[in-house]
Structure 1
Amino acid sequence: MSKQPTTVTPVGEGVARISWVADENVDVVRREVAAALVDHQRVEAHVAVDDETGQRTATWSGMRREGIMRGVGGDLVVYARLASDTPVHEPGGFRALLNSFLPRKRAISQMLIRDTTEPEPRVLLCQLTYKQDWDLPGGVVEVGESPQDAVVREVEEELALSLPAGPLLLTDWLPPWGGWDDALCLVFDGGVHDSSIVERIVEQEREIRSAAFCTAAEVADRAADFTARRVASALRNASPGVDGPGPTYTESGR
């Protein structure tokens, strides 16, 4: 029985979908993609998430990975190439191709803000609307945004405080949990301030219920255990004692 050829099927205005047999040569698929782009603005392929060979074929034929389409019959990885895409043989086109499928890590920026309480400063924590645990102010870094700029933006958006972000105190890796992918949490030094700074806070109602300076005991009581460990590590780095600074890298606060 002869092998079925690679097929290109129009699926919409200016859009074609390409499919091929499992052992098809990448060069053949690449030529068919190029030929289809003469008459179409977009050529796409849907490849099963467990078909690693098919995903390699799609990639090295010049199609960029766009995401996963979930479905009853099984999830599919969507690949596509546009007529306007930079040619893969050019540096910009090759980098864009690699960027489409290489792993991406979510980043969270937080700020450690302390007050002048003696003998140990308290830490500013936020009571959040979307979870029971309290946490340091901050949030997710946007695509293409500096983590240091992100934490300044988040603190201003959430609390209406304009505070510069000082040195990086801690990098904490957060493993996958409860439906979340893993992430890197970067804690920046927000400095030491008079406790009256809380009077200037205007909570963003959508995300923040309240904010307060908390003692170490209150941090342990109000925050998740991994958050409490992260706060303790960041504090050691911000105010090193006789034992020296704490770790600059932790995993889930450890």
Structure 2
Amino acid sequence: MNDDRPLYQRDPAAWNAYLAEGNAKQARKRVGADVLIRDEDNRILLVNPRYKPDWDLPGGMVEANEPPHKAAERELREELGLEIQVRKILAIDWVAPHGPWDDSLMFIFDGGTISSQQSTKLKPTDNELLEYKFCTPREAEELLQPKLWNRVQYAISNSDKSPYLSNGVALKNAPSTE
């Protein structure tokens, strides 16, 4: 008798083996999760990492099997002692391979506005950060790499549009995340 059911219904063990093979062979993406946080004067929180030459948004790399929004919250806790829940996605940027790095997906989440009381309690809490500061957009543009500044600028000014970018540039008719 011919069984027309899909493999996952006919033979769950074979289906799991198929998935495991695909998981082992398919490309994996590096994923970063940053947070756009502002102070009461609408300045942007930037951090100066010890391990690279440029300023950055707070956040970092997502660990294996960790949701990007949870990675962003974890990084804020670990690096600045800041406990917040991130809000919506402001930007998702596909970054092409560069130097020794493969391509990646970089998220920017909305971290809202923190009070002056919260900002005075900020401090680097691990060895990854040299310092942090709140910057005007003009100051941020001077401190950030151009591709990151493009991503941040998009996140600031296009929060009502599709958050999908490619190398810091919004795509026309980009897929919606709504």
Q: TM-score, normalised by structure 1?
A: 0.59
Letter in structure 2 aligned against 1:131: K
Per the alignment, residue 165 of structure 2 pairs with 250
Q: Tell me which residue corresponds to 1:106.
A: 30
2:43 is the alignment partner of 1:122: yes
In structure 1, the partner of 2:134 is: 213
Runs of 4+ in 1 over 6 A off after TM superposition: none
Shift of residue 237, structure 1, vs aligned partner? 3.1
Question: Does the CA-based 8 Å contact 2:33-2:59 persist in structure 1?
Answer: yes
State the number of aligned residues: 159
Please state whether the residue corresponding to 1:135 is helix, strand or coil.
coil
- Please tell me whether the aligned partners of residues 39 and 119 of structure 2 are also in contact (alpha carbons under 8 angstroms): no
| Structure 1 segment 174-213 matched on structure 2, within 5 A | 174-213=95-134
Shift of 1:128: 0.8
Deviations 1:30-85 (A, max 9, x none): xxxxxxxxxxxxxxxxxxxxxxxxxxxxxxxxxxxxxxxxxxxxxxxxxxxxxxxx
Q: CA deviation at 1:110?
A: 0.6
Secondary structure at the aligned position of 1:218 is classed as: helix
Instruction: In structure 2, give the amino acid aligned to 1:151.
Output: A
- Higher-Rg member (1/2): 1
SS in 2 for 1:104: coil
Contact 1:110–1:151 under 8 Å retained in 2: yes
RMSD over aligned CA atoms reads 1.8
Taking structure 2 as the reference length, the TM-score comes to: 0.83
Q: Which residue of 2 aligns with 1:91?
A: 15
SS of equivalent to 2:158: helix
1:198 to partner: Cα distance: 2.7
Shift of 1:89: 6.1
User: How high is the sequence identity, in percent, across the aligned residues?
Assistant: 36
Residue correspondence of structure 1 range 1-254 to structure 2 within 5 A? 90-117=14-41, 121-238=42-159, 245=160, 248-254=163-169
Q: Runs of 5+ in structure 2 lacking a partner?
A: 1-10, 170-178
Q: Distance in 2 between matches of 1:162 and 1:174?
A: 28
Q: Per chain length, whose mean CA-contact separation is higher, i.e. which structure has more relative contact order (CA < 8 Å, sep 6+)? A: 2
Q: Is the 8 A contact 1:165 1:190 kept in 2?
A: yes
Runs of at least 5 residues in structure 1 that lack an aligned partner in the other structure? 1-86, 239-244
